Amino acid sequence: MEFASVLLEWYRENGRDLPWRQTHDPYAIWLSEIILQQTQVKQGWDYWTRFMHRWPTVEALASATEDEVLREWQGLGYYSRARNLHFAAKQIVAMGHFPDTLEDIKKLKGVGDYTAAAIASFAFGIPAAVVDGNVYRVLARHFGIDTPINTTEGKKLFAAMAQELLPTVNCQLSTVNSEYNQAIMDFGAIQCTPASPNCMFCPLVESCVAFRSGTVAELPVKLKTLKVTERHLAYVYIRCNYQTAIHRRGPGDIWQGLWEPWLVESPTQIPHDTVILRKNVKHVLTHRVLYADFYLLEVDERPKLPADYIWIKESELDDYAKPRLIEKLLSSLLPSDN
């Protein structure tokens, strides 16, 4: 039995039952793909449900403010996805309809080759192969390909192979190629997993090059190019007459558009009457490791701060989207005695 047929048969018995797979609504599918770009399905499911409930149409999402979208996104990380999502919603509304060709879908902000192929395939039946981490792994192992997946050569090779294996049919809204795309991704997520793949009960084991050659654990190959750096931060939470000061992070750095307490640039800026609440709280990002100290300063008069800080009621803090690290630090605060 050929590769695609085996995967489709496996998928019909083992595929994941996900709500965005029960619709051809491109908005619902696009939203799920953006959320799942850097998020596991288990976590992303709840966010997708909340977004769909609050903004059931692309027009509703486009009419929201960026702050509202960031606040709903809080906890998912990679906040540029939320900003791009909001921007693209406005793009779609300006077009007058959701783009329905692969080329036009790629014009949406935050949509790359994989996401465009997924939307095109799942929403419109367009024969476009998806290539995500699961697909790389399944193809690399089954066909014994050791070309690094994060090189130009590797990306072209795997994209061409994935497209060639796609069981296309000549009609719009066909479910065959979209079902296959879902099948190979689920196969990688459930059967051919990164660690401890279930090779003994794999329907493709007899034709799997990696299994026969004992190289399952070595494939796919990925070059290590990312240099991880460390960064130290110090925050002072100011409590003044049941109010506190926060500011929105600007462009060109982590957490653009999110809010945080007073970020102290130098230890010499920390007032002498502060109380240390947390020390060296570790927070890991993709390309760096953060270590944060957290202080509490309780005063009767507002200290002088940079012009971009605003004063809000402490009870309103939850209305502002904040990075996960800041949420972690704030959890160590005792409530004010109001």
Q: Which amino acid is it at 266? A: S
CA distances 188 to 167, 173, 226, 277, Å, are 18, 25, 24, 44
Question: What pLDDT is attached to residue 174?
Answer: 60
Distances, alpha carbon 41 to alpha carbons 45, 76, 195, 284, in Å: 6, 12, 18, 20
Residue 16: both structure tokens together: 């994941």
pLDDT score for 207: 95
CA separation for the pair 129, 116 (Å, rounded): 10
pLDDT digits (tens, 9 = 90+) for 106-120: 999 999 999 999 999
Q: Is the pLDDT of residue 172 over 60?
A: no
* Catalytic residue from among 13, 33, 218, 265: 33
Q: Answer yes or no: is pLDDT of 28 > 90.
A: yes
Residue 213 has pLDDT above 60, yes or no: yes
DSSP letter, residue 188:
I
Domain architecture of the chain: domains with CATH:
3-218 (1.10.340.30), 229-330 (3.90.79.10)
Contact 47, 82 (CB under 8 A): no
pLDDT score recorded for residue 32: 97
pLDDT digits 0-9 by tens, 228-255: 899 999 999 999 999 999 999 998 888 9
Q: What CA–CA distances, in Å, run from 21 to 30, 83, 119, 183, 212?
A: 11, 25, 11, 12, 34
pTM: 0.84
The amino acid that residue 156 corresponds to is: K
Q: What is the pLDDT of residues 283-328, one digit of tens each?
A: 998 788 999 999 999 999 999 999 999 999 999 999 999 999 999 9
In this predicted model, what pLDDT tens digit does every residue of 243-287 receive, in sequence order?
A: 999 999 998 888 999 999 999 987 788 888 899 999 999 999 878
Q: Which of 335, 334, 8, 337 is nearest to 165 (CA)?
A: 8
Q: Residue 6: which pLDDT band, with cuts at 50, 70 and 90?
A: very high
Q: Which two tokens stand for residue 270?
A: 């920390």
Cα separations (Å) of 240 from 26, 122, 191, 193, 292?
Answer: 48, 53, 55, 52, 23
**pLDDT at position 168 over 80:** no
Known catalytic membership, residue 59 = no
Query: Span 142-157, mean pLDDT?
Result: 95
The whole-chain average pLDDT of the chain stands at: 93
pLDDT at 188 over 90: yes
Contact of 191 with 134, CB cutoff 8 Å? no
Instruction: Indicate the range of 94-103, 179-188, 248-257 predicted with least confidence.
Output: 248-257
Segment holding 204, helix H or strand E: none
pLDDT band at 127 (very low <50, low <70, confident <90, very high): very high
